[in-house]
Copies of this chain bind each other. A is one copy, B any other.
Amino acid sequence: MIKVGILGYGNLGRGVEAAVTKSDDMELLAIYTRRDPKTVTVKTNTTVKSTADLDTGKEDIDVLVICGGSATDLPEMTPKYAKLYNVIDSFDTHARIPEHYTNVDNASKAAGKIGLISCGWDPGMFSLNRLYATSILPDGQAYTFWGKGVSQGHSDAIRRIEGVVDARQYTVPVEDALRRVRNGENPELSTREKHTRECYVVVEEGADKARIEKEIKEMPNYFSDYDTTVNFISEEELKKNHSGLPHGGSVIYTGETGFDGNKHVIEYSLNLDSNPEFTGAVLTAYARAIDRLNKEGVTGAKTVFDIAPAYLSPVSADELRAHFL
């Protein structure tokens, strides 16, 4: 049995908890929290412990799944715990991946452990599909579309506006753009042409809706480059119709081969009821892989690009060849 620890018990931590529970070859040893463990109630009967226990380096875990935020948690936590355990995270600040990789690589190598970073679906499964497609068809172009799905960052940004009680923001790919890409037209698409943003907003009684709508639509980076629609709804409606965290999207790659201009379209798409549960399931499969690789003597930082697919599966190599190939 692979002994797994989870650090952090938000949506993603709960997703990993569920995925490990469903994996016959894994056992969930403990959930670690920075809060007082007594105040944290978990879904399964897993022990909740303090990060102080984790810091001793003596916890009997094969892989620690670090479920923190990319802005401040992971840049600090992953290198820290990579000195003690095999670790895996879902670091998703694309621009800072090289720096994060180097920090984790130094820590993991010194400890004789593996640190797998930026795992999930984007970065993660979408990255893999961009890599496979470009390697097969070097003469081509990759397009990534996200949604329809909830962007937590954008929802948070709306919540910070004065007069807003709660909000949910959906990123929606533009159908016409999808159609043109799938059609092999290789269009040049602006930010506005690829996605729209749909906002569902609950406001305080008497709030100035016109001002709030304007503030949302003109917010730089988040909304100003998009066609944005704002719907004001009641708190009840938000709870009833917008409490899930669905997401998904597509990597569409179009490329040419040969001397006669033959075209090919490769599409990988996800349609997810729960973004954190799916991401947790991806992290869990890769936790299995790095436990095995570390037992074979591999150390240092890794990404999904470095892991041979067979390592993700609990099924033997013979069975995989006989039934999955």
> How many Å lie between the Cα of A303 and that of B127 in the bound state?
21
Give the A interface residue count (CB, 8 A). Answer: 69
> How many Å lie between the Cα of A281 and that of B137 in the bound state?
7
Separation in Å of the A74 CB from the closest CB of chain B? 14
A188 contacts chain B at the CB level, 8 A cutoff: no
Are B267 and A267 within 8 A (Cβ)?
A: yes
Known contacts A43-B259, A132-B125, A274-B262; A138/B305 CB under 8 A:
no
Q: For A265, list chain B residues within 8 Å (CB).
A: 269-272
Q: For A296, list chain B residues within 8 Å (CB).
A: none
> How many Å lie between the Cα of A16 and that of B52 in the bound state?
57
Interface members, chain A 139-159 (any B CB < 8 Å): 139
Q: Say how many copies of this protein the assembly contains.
A: 2
Known contacts A15-B258, A281-B136; A270/B266 CB under 8 A:
yes
Q: For A182, list chain B residues within 8 Å (CB).
A: 271
Are A322 and B18 within 8 A (Cβ)?
A: no
Are A138 and B325 within 8 A (Cβ)?
A: no
Are A136 and B282 within 8 A (Cβ)?
A: yes
> How many Å lie between the Cα of A97 and that of B324 in the bound state?
11
Interface segment among A53-61, A77-85, A221-229, A312-320: the answer is A312-320
Known contacts A131-B312, A317-B305; A273/B262 CB under 8 A:
yes
A110 contacts chain B at the CB level, 8 A cutoff: no
A233 contacts chain B at the CB level, 8 A cutoff: no
Are B277 and A258 within 8 A (Cβ)?
A: yes
Which A residues have a C-beta under 8 Å from some C-beta of B?
14-15, 18-19, 22-23, 43, 94, 97-98, 101, 118, 123, 125, 127-132, 134-139, 182, 257-260, 262-274, 277-278, 280-282, 285, 288, 303-310, 312-314, 317-318, 320-322, 324-325
